[in-house]
Structure 1
Amino acid sequence: MSELRTERLLLRGWRESDLAPWAAMNADPEVRAHFPGLLTREQSEASVARFQAALEARGWGWWAAEVRATGEFIGFTGLDPVEEAMPFTGVEAGWRLARPAWGHGYATEAAEAALAYGFTTLALPEILAVTTTTNLRSQAVMRRIGMTRNPADDFDDPGAPDGPLRRSVVYRIAAEEQRAKRHA
C-alpha cells in the first residue's frame, strides 16, 4: 500500500487510533453539512474498514491524513472509482477534514498530492471531483488544484434525498492540464 508525503502531511493507511477522531468528525454537523446526515460510531468504523480494505487491495484509495509535525489525524483525502449509480465514470478525488484543520491549506496540499499520484503512478487520463452546489469551500479547493467545471455536467445525486443536497457539480482536470499547471 502506498503512502504519500507532502511538505506538511502524510497520507497513509488507517490506524485504530484514527477511529475516535474520525467518528467525531462524522458526528460534527458542520463537517457533515453537505452530506445527508451524521454518521454513528458504527457507521464511521465501517467506512474505515472499507477504506482500508480498498487501500490494501488496490494500493490507493481514501488515505488517512496526518500532520507530519505532530502526528495528528485530521481527516482523509485520496482517489476512488466513481460509484456505479452516478451518471458518469472515472476516478474521483476527495477530501474531508476535521474543523480545526480547515483554513490551513491542508485540503489543497493533500488533493494536489492525490492528483499527482493519480496522473503519474496510475496514469489516469482525467480525475474529477464531485460536491453539492452549496459546498463552496470544496469547490474553491477544486479550483485551486486546477479543476474546472462545466455546468452542463451538473446533476442530481441519485444517492441524496430531495432537497438542497441533491444538486451536485462535477469538476475535472485532465492529465495534460495537471502537467501544464506544474510547469507553469
Structure 2
Amino acid sequence: MKYIKTKRLILRDWKESDIPKFIELNRDRDVRRYFPDVATPEESKAFILNAQRDIDARGFGLFAVENRHTKEFIGFTGIQVWEEDGPLKLHFLPSIEIGWRFAKRYWNQGFATEAARGVVKFAERNTDIREIYAYTASINYPSINIMLKLGMKKVHTFEHPSIIDGHSLKKHVVYKMDIKKRHRFKL
C-alpha cells in the first residue's frame, strides 16, 4: 500500500524485494557511520518486520521509500512510537520519533528532507500527533541539518546508554517539532 507521495518519492509498505537492498544499505559503513556498527542481515530483516508490524497496527510507521521514477527502493522514512519502557529513560517518553536512512548513492539530493516533510504532512492530516521528536549522535550533522530544515528545535541532550563511555557517539541530541500548526512544505 502507498501511504505518501511526494514529487519524487513514494512512501509505502515494505516488500520482499526490499530485503536484500536494505541488508546491503545497513552493511555500508558510511551509511552506519553514526551507529556503533553495521547491522547484520538478521537485524535488517527484524527491522523490516517490526516496521511493517507498526504500520499494520497503527497506520503509520517507518515506511519503505521508493523513487517514483525508477521504482527503486532507496531507504526508509517515517514515524514510530518511542516506548517508555525502552532503553532510553527520558522525561518525554513515550513520544513519536521521526527517522530516516538512505542508501549512500541517494545522499545530497534532498530525498531525506522531501520524505520527512511528506511524513510530517501525513501525520498532520491522518493522526492526532501533536509533537514529533528526533534524536541522533551530536556529531551527526547531516541528520541534524534535516531536523533544522523541518523546523525542529533542539530540546535535550543525553548520554546514550547503549554506547560505551568515551565513544564519539555517546553524546546524543534531541530535537522536537510541534505539528499543531500546518507546515507549508513544497513536496
TM-score, normalised to structure 1, is 0.92
2:161 partner letter? P
Q: Aligned ranges for residues 34-49 of structure 1 at < 5 Å? A: 34-49=34-49
> 2:144 matched to 1:139?
yes
Paired residue for 2:184? 182
Distance in 1 of aligned mates of 2:123 and 2:81: 11
Select 2:164's aligned residue among 129, 152, 161: 161
TM superposition shift of 1:55: 1.0
Paired residue for 1:123? 128
Mark the runs of 5 or more structure 2 residues left unpaired by the alignment. none
After superposing on structure 2, the runs of 4+ consecutive aligned residues of structure 1 that deviate more than 4 Å are none
Identity of matched residues, %: 39
Q: Aligned ranges for residues 1-184 of structure 1 at < 5 Å? A: 3-84=3-84, 85-86=87-88, 87=90, 88-89=92-93, 90-150=95-155, 153-162=156-165, 163-176=167-180, 178-179=181-182, 181-182=183-184
TM superposition shift of 1:2: 5.9
SS in 1 for 2:17: helix
Mark the runs of 5 or more structure 1 residues left unpaired by the alignment. none
CA RMSD of aligned residues (A): 1.5
Distance in 1 of aligned mates of 2:176 and 2:125: 17
Q: Which moved more, 1:2-11 or 1:22-31?
A: 2-11
TM-score, normalised to structure 2, is 0.90
Which structure has more helix as a fraction of its residues?
A: 1
Task: Give the number of equivalent residue pairs.
Answer: 179
